[in-house]
Chain A
Amino acid sequence: MNLAVRDIRHSLGRFVLTTIGVGMLLMVVMGMGGIYRGLVDDALVVTRGVGADLWVVQQSTRGPFAEVSRLPRRVVDRVAAVPGVTDAREFVFHTIQREHRGKPLRMGVLGLGWPTDKGEGLPMVAGRVLAQNHYEMIADESLGLALGERLRLGKDTYTVVGVTSAMVSSGGDGIACFTSRDAQAIQFDEPGESVRLERQARRVRAGEIDFGRTQPSVLDRASGSSRAIVALPGPAVSAVIARLMPGADTDAVLRTFEGWSDITVYSAAQQEDLLLKGSVDRARRQILLFRVLLTIISAVIMALIIYTLTLDKLHPIALLKLIGAPNHVIVGLIMQQSLIMGALAYGVAYLIGQQLFPLFPRRVLVAGDDLLRLGAIVLVISVLASLLGIWKAMRVAPNEAIG
């Protein structure tokens, strides 16, 4: 005969209400853990999405995610020439916010290394990968773009040919993948008027220096396309990403780069580490502290209610002692109630969370490991919560049952 269950039935209302309350708190604890996991996962989506083995950034910066990094574009060719590297390209990722169908559309623009990377590695749920060098995009489902939908970005129109899921930037915006050329075109899009004005200004600047006056052809060039002016560098890139040949020794390749004094190179693992230790780390600690607080609050609430439930049955406990019940029966009565409350609250947390978390604007990732860990924590706080009640019960003398 289980005394704990029978006593719970006796004060069912209070027990159930408290359990639901504690369950909601645990749900928040669970959800906050999920938010953190979501953050981490989202932060890694871009780095994993581009499938780079190496990240080449400006010397002694921690770019391109943690801080600004600028590299001349020709680093791409230098990196590509290093033994062990299959291909290298510029890393293009930026966020844009445009109007679409009358609503603001924020998206992360990620450049894929066409033609070696057409998007095969992406978590596709519909459509296909990129099939041509231009004017196609693969959009995340969170952007709400349909297959075949056309989107004007800058001077060109892009067609959605594929849809992915869970491709979200660390800011929570859905990511759209383009060839890296298109992605750059979107990034550096300039209106025609601005280009004309710049050419005009360039001509004026060239006219003001000796070189311009003595070399008339320079004045002609200045009014033309930027590309035709050899002396001017192309737009800098934030990072160069490279892939290694299968079976290549990452450390050996990294050693080659050590001699280059204009860049710093990170392996994929190091880059992820930078991401997580940098921007996400403070969020992680912030969330962790909230979780600790909420867990303590849950434990205190449980302890109080188990304590009052115990106060309510001090007389029966004294009676049990009087008729000779050993202490473990009484400890069991109280601790089992606490454990039952903890277990049910955990169940409540899980069930409500399952319904609620998908409705949240950002990803709440409740993973198996975290569930297990929270389960263990609930077990511990259930035991701790029962201690106050047990302490009280142990101090009851059997003769308090009489009189």
Chain B
Amino acid sequence: MNDTLALQADGLTKVYGSGHTEVVAMRDASMRVRRGEITALLGPSGAGKSTFLLCVGLINPPTSGRVAIGGRPVLDGPRALVDLRRFRRENIGFVFQKSNLIPFLNAVENVQVVGELIGHPPPVARRRAIELLDALGVGARASNRSTQLSGGEQQRVTVARALANQPSLILADEPTAALDSVRGRQVMELFRDVAHQHGTGVIVVTHDQRALDVFDAIYQMEDGVLARAPALAQSECR
């Protein structure tokens, strides 16, 4: 194991259902993401991108294959090598397409709750939450509930929440789908800055071809098969 790697996924296969209804959503997928590196995951709808993220995010373990995060082996096939929920809480940040804020909490509380979950005293968690919201430009909306925030603001709060546990890996599934291209690009750049500044590994599933220049690596997925896009394609995008 290499602990300069934020994520090391080897030979992940995911089979949904069984027998007649069996769907092989992902086949022998492998990926390495270094700390401080931001990786794009492209592919048509139904290709298995979300399946991949849920596997490496320890939410929906693979049928076979291995996952290590921050140099620590966590999954061996469907078998958990650590307490998955605890590991998620301490090491992974999530951002999803639709804003996923807790409706009965305001912006700052949505971020603060993560800090408290990893054991920070409430005042400390709150101070850090406010700092994060400020850094993401939504400090002024700290006491608003998610229904009072615009889509872009909600997504920023979600990013702040994903950062609140200082994760070694951030997983974002089409985080900009609900945003216009300017806001979408801002969010992508935000992820890049987070990766570069905090040394976090970031994987972003996206359809947005225009923002590909912010990524350090690009993976492509089709029919459950994951492949790293050729370096040439990457330099073209830059």
Contacts and interface: CB of A to CB of B under 8 A. Distances in A.
A323 B104 contact: no
A182 to B, nearest CB: 72
B109 A401 contact: no
Contact of A316 (B87, B96, B104, B112): B104
B47 interface: no
A6 B90 contact: no
B105 interface: yes
A320 interface: yes
B104 A6 contact: yes
Nearest to A7: B104
Contacts of B109: 1, 6
A interface bracket (residues with beta carbon within 8 Å of B): 20 to 34
Interface stretch (A26-34, A61-69, A89-97, A324-332): A324-332
B112 A323 contact: no
Contacts of B113: 1, 3, 320, 323, 325
Contacts of B102: 316, 319-320
A324 B87 contact: yes
B161 interface: yes
Contacts of A325: 85, 89, 113, 117
B116 interface: yes
Contacts of A398: 59, 85
B116 to A, nearest CB: 6
B interface bracket (residues with beta carbon within 8 Å of A): 20 to 34
Given A1-B116, A402-B100, A321 B173 contact: no
Given A3-B113, A6-B109, A316 B103 contact: yes
A399 B60 CA distance: 8
Interface in A12-65: none
Contacts of A399: 54, 59-60
Contacts of A313: 103-104
A243 to B, nearest CB: 68
A315 B105 CA distance: 13
A313 B117 CA distance: 19
A306 to B, nearest CB: 15
B215 interface: no
A9 B88 contact: no
Contacts of B90: 324
Interface in A82-139: none
A324 B117 contact: yes
B94 A322 contact: yes
Contacts of B105: 3, 6
A78 interface: no
A316 B100 CA distance: 8
Interface string B113-132: 11011000010010000000
A322 to B, nearest CB: 6
B86 interface: yes
Residue with the greatest number of chain A CB neighbours at <10 A, chosen from B50, B86, B113: B113
A10 interface: yes
Contacts of B85: 321, 324-326, 398
Contact of B117 (A6, A329, A402): A329
A3 to B, nearest CB: 7
Contacts of A1: 109, 112-113, 116, 122, 125
A323 B58 CA distance: 11
A231 B192 CA distance: 120
Residue with the greatest number of chain A CB neighbours at <10 A, chosen from B54, B89, B112, B161: B89
A323 B86 contact: no
Interface in A163-184: none
Interface in A385-403: 398-399, 401-402
A402 B96 contact: yes
A323 B59 contact: no
Nearest to A11: B104
Contacts of B60: 399
B86 A326 contact: yes
B116 A323 contact: no
A319 B59 contact: no
B86 A322 contact: no
Given A329-B117, A401-B100, A402-B100, A322 B173 contact: no
A399 B125 CA distance: 26
B68 to A, nearest CB: 18
Contact of B88 (A11, A323, A329, A402): A323
Contacts of A6: 104-105, 109
Residue with the greatest number of chain A CB neighbours at <10 A, chosen from B94, B114, B122: B94
A7 B105 CA distance: 8
Contacts of B88: 322-324
16 contacts: A1-B113, A1-B116, A1-B122, A3-B113, A6-B109, A313-B103, A316-B103, A316-B104, A323-B89, A323-B161, A324-B92, A325-B85, A325-B89, A326-B89, A401-B96, A402-B100
Given A6-B105, A398-B85, 5 more contacts: A1-B113, A9-B104, A10-B104, A324-B87, A325-B85
Interface of A: 1, 3, 6-7, 9-11, 313, 316, 319-326, 329, 398-399, 401-402
Nearest 4 CB-CB pairings of A with B:
A324-B89, A10-B104, A324-B88, A7-B104
Interface of B: 50, 54, 59-60, 85-90, 92, 94, 96, 100, 102-105, 109, 112-114, 116-117, 122, 125, 161, 173
